[in-house]
Amino acid sequence: MVFITELFEIALKARNMAYAPYSNFKVGAALLTTDNQIYVGANVENVSFPCGTCAEQSAIAAMISGGGKTIKEIVIVAESKTLIAPCGACLQRISEFSDDKTVVHLANLDGVQKSYPLGALFPVAFKQGVLKKDD
């Protein structure tokens, strides 16, 4: 069983590996799949903005490359006075591999500060086949 403190520590280590020479804003992510595998990611900036990669996107790519399928929960950690939630594109990416109950934990360097079900952060995610001709 993976505890949230363990997932936070893993995300914090991933944050330390971030490549952020332009903004100096490092973000780490650690996700736990429904089969209890952990995958990590860090943001990777590029001088040709916006060609960088978000930490969440990086972790999801690692999950898919590693054979993972479904996100159970994810921790996102950044050094900030206000908590950093995933951007809209990353919320859409997370929703692709989860459901409304997937837990998104927002953390600063001191630990997880708030946790939300994905449905609360992204209540109207685009899902394939959701709209019908009658809608």
58 vs 27: CA distance, rounded Å: 11
Structure tokens that stand for 86 in this block: 């995933």
Within 8 A by CB and 6+ apart from 17, the residues are: 28, 42
Helices marked H in 17-79: 55-65
Cβ(56)–Cβ(93) below 8 Å: yes
Instruction: Name the active-site residue from 6, 9, 45, 56.
Output: 56
Instruction: State yes or no: is 73 an active-site residue.
Output: no
Q: Which residues carry out catalysis?
A: 56
